[in-house]
Structure 1
Amino acid sequence: MGKKGRVFVRGLTSETYGLGHFRKAQLAAERVRDDSVVVDDAKVGHSGDSEKSRTWWRIGPGDEDFLTQTLQVHFVELPGESSNHGHGHQNEAAFYILEGKGYEIHDDQRYDWEKDDLVFVHTDSVHRHFNPYPEKAVALVVKAKCSWMFMGLIQQGRSGPVEEEDRFGPREDWSAIWTPGVLDRKKVIKPSDCTWETTQLGRVRVMNAPERTDARQFSVDALELQIPAGGRSGKYWKMADEVHYILEGEGYALMWEVEAEIAEKYYARIAKEPTRHEFKQGDTVYVPQNHVCQIFAADGTPLRVLSFQNRLFKHLGYDNVAYLEDSPEYTEQSRVGELAGQA
């Protein structure tokens, strides 16, 4: 967090055209953060917490050790029989329920949730979180808030009258400028709404992505990856950075930096040696932009990993993932398929 206030968007200022020094500083930062890392305690420039609820940030644009502002990561805790304050903002948010159950009030409508649900605060939503049950509820919140800020979509605050109300006419329905059909999309994605698939990355269930036209979220894509004990994911390269949250297990990630050689055209030069990043349950693991990554589960500890990405990269032309090595499960499935075809 900034020394004098909350940083909503981080700027880039340089006296040279090249910006390589910014990337070097970013890549030097520690990429694995655990519960000891609180970069913002929500005491400045926030409106959501009540006397009982608690919010704390792990990744944000104002971090002294800067990782990214394509995604922000924080946690919300609601003790039993409590709620936070209602407020509204233009940016979307996706929150995964780590513990407990409760419900939302969004635009005067109720949406119930429980552990392992992925819940969406849609754009331009007045919302409030409730936990009427005795056990506490904890949510992991991931959002692409800075993308809205860059585009000037900065309206946010608690409910209240319009300033200088005499200057404005009567109320109009805000949803008139939303994408047609969004009101019919799901706000809560349950495990039963997802299908497990064996892919080049590994065994995954997609919770949000462009192809999921039933989900009311357009900015943060999310999937869960499962890796058996001692196993590994596919080795993949993509331009988008991402945040992994370790739901269960422990292991490590190998990451290879990709350098751009600007000759008669762009060429990718992949580092010969990776960096290694150990992690455990409850950690976040950051993969920078333009990297090759592969995830490994420790012996005896199968992994459950949540993976999040800002969808804006896909709209900017980086919609592909290159696999340099497939997951063992996908390779075996392909082999069995080939044998069946030869029979």
Structure 2
Amino acid sequence: MGKSGRVFLRGITSETYGLKEFRRRQLAAPRVRDDSVVVDDAKVAHSGDSAQSRTWWRIGPGDDPFLTQSLQVHFVELPPHSSNHGHGHQNEAAFYILQGAGYEIHDDQRYEWAKDDLVLVHTDSVHRHFNPYDQTARCLVIKAKSLWMYLGLIQQGRSGPVEDEDRFGPREDWGAIWTPGVDDRKKVVKPADTPWETTPLGRVRVLSSPRHTDVRTFSVDAFVLDIPAGSRSGKRWHMADEVLYVLSGEGYSLHWEVEAEIAERYYARVAKEPTRHEIKAGDTLYVPHNTVAQHFAADGSPLQLLSGQNRIFKHLGYDNVVYLENAPEYDDARTPADAEA
């Protein structure tokens, strides 16, 4: 968090055209953060917390050392029989339920949720979170808030009347300017809605993506990756950065830096040696932009990861993933005909 207030959007300044020093510092920052890291305790410029609920941040644009602002990560905890304040903001938010159960009120509509659900707070939603049960509820929130801020979509606040109301005319339906049909999209994605698939990355359950047009999110793509004990994921290269939360298990992640050689065209040069990052349940792992990454489960400990990415990269011309090595489970499942194809 900034020294004089909350940082909503971070700037980039330099006295040179090249930004290699900025990139160098970003790559040098520790990529694994655990429960000991609280970069923002929500005491400044936050609207959601009540006297009972608690919010704390793991990754955000005001961090020092800085990782990313294409994604932000924080936690929300609701004790039994509690709720937070109703509030609204223009950015979307994706909530993965880590523990407990409860419900949301979004624009005066109720949505029930439970452990392992993905809950979507849509753009321009007045929302409030409730836990009417005897167990504490906790969720991980992933959002691309800085993207809205960069585009000037900065309206946010708690529920309340319009200031200087006499200056304005009668109420109009704000949703009239939304993408047609969004009201019919799914707000809560349950495990039963998303089957496991064997992919080059490994065993994956996709929660939100551009091909899941029935899910109401336009900014965050999310999936769960399950790696058997002693096994590994596919080795993949993509431009978007990524935040992974370790749902269970332990292991490590190897990252190969990709350097741009600017000659008669752009060429990618992959580092010969990776950096290694140890991970365990409850950690967040950051994979920087333009990085080759592969994840390994420890012997005797299956590893389950929740992945979040900012979808905007797919609209900027980077809608592809290169697999330099497939997960062994994917190769084992392929038939000879698949291999020839």
TM-score bracket relative to the smaller structure: over 0.9
- Give how far 1:164 is off: 2.1
- Aligned residue number for residue 254 of structure 1: 254
Matches within 5 A, 1:100-249: 100-249=100-249
Q: 1:25 to 1:170 in 2, by over 3 A?
A: same
Measured in 2, the distance between the counterparts of 1:106 and 1:340 equals 46
Task: Supply the distance in 1 between the matched residues of 2:224 and 2:203 (Cα, whole angstroms).
Answer: 8
**What 5-or-longer segments of structure 2 have no aligned partner?**
none
Q: Deviations for 1:228-266, whole angstroms, at most 9, x for unmatched residues?
A: 000000000000000000001000000000000000000
- Distance, in Å, in 2 between the alignment partners of 1:243 and 1:316 is 19
- The answer as to 2:43 corresponding to 1:50 is no
Deviation string for 1:186-233 (max 9, x for gaps)?
A: 100000000111000000010000000110011000000000000000
Deviation of the 1:178 alpha carbon: 0.5
Please give the alpha-carbon distance, in whole angstroms, between the structure 2 residues aligned to 1:251 and 1:95. Answer: 25
Provide the C-alpha distance between the structure 2 equivalents of 1:165 and 1:320, rounded to a whole number of angstroms: 49
CA distance in 1, matches of 2:160, 2:294: 48
1:73 alignment counterpart: 73
Cα distance in 2 for residues equivalent to 1:46 and 1:163: 20
CA distance in 2, matches of 1:222, 1:341: 28
The one-letter code matched in structure 2 to 1:169 is: G
The 2-side partners of 1:341 and 1:300 are apart by 30
Q: Which runs of 4+ in 1 moved over 4 A?
A: 339-342
Show CA shifts across 1:157-182 (max 9, x none).
01112122222211000110001110
For residues 207 and 341 of structure 1, the distance between their equivalents in structure 2, rounded to whole angstroms, comes to: 28
State, as a whole percentage, how many aligned pairs show the same letter.
75
Letter in 2 for 1:243: V
The 2-side partners of 1:157 and 1:32 are apart by: 32
- Counterparts of 1:338 and 1:223 in 2: how far apart (Å)? 29
Structure 1 residues 72-109: Cα deviation after superposition (integer angstroms, max 9, x where no partner): 00000000000000100000000100000000000001
TM-score by length of 2: 0.98
Query: Which residue of 317, 336, 339 maps to 1:338?
Result: 336
Structure 1 residue 33 corresponds to structure 2 residue 19: no
Residue identity in the other structure for 1:316: L
Q: Does 1:88 align with 2:88?
A: yes
- Quote the Cα distance in structure 2 between the aligned partners of 1:42 and 1:105: 22
Q: Show the counterpart of 2:286.
A: 286
Mean Cα deviation higher: 164-173 or 310-319: 164-173
Secondary structure of the equivalent of 1:183?
helix
How far off its partner does 1:339 sit? Answer: 6.5
Please name the residue that 2:297 is paired with.
297
What is the number of equivalent residue pairs in this alignment? 340
| TM-score, structure 1 as length reference | 0.98
Change (3 A) 1:296 1:165: same
**Aligned-residue offset at 1:340:** 9.3
Give the aligned residue type for 1:182: V
**Correspondence list, 1:302-317, <5 A:** 302-317=302-317
Q: Which residue identity is paired with 1:261?
A: E
Residue 5 of structure 1 is matched in structure 2 by 5
Distance in 2, matches of 1:145 and 1:305, equals 22
Return the alpha-carbon distance in structure 1 between the equivalents of residues 309 and 289 of structure 2.
11
> C-alpha offsets along residues 141-163 of structure 1, whole Å, 9 cap, x if unaligned?
00000000000000000111212
Cα distance in 2 for residues equivalent to 1:265 and 1:139? 45
Q: CA deviation at 1:341?
A: 10
Using the TM superposition, give the Cα deviation of residue 333 of structure 1 relative to its aligned residue in structure 2, in angstroms: 1.2
Q: Secondary structure at the match of 2:183?
A: helix
Amino acid at match of 1:5: G
SS at match of 1:30: coil
Amino acid of the residue matched to residue 338 of structure 1? P
3-state DSSP of counterpart to 2:48? coil
Q: 1:64 Cα shift?
A: 1.1
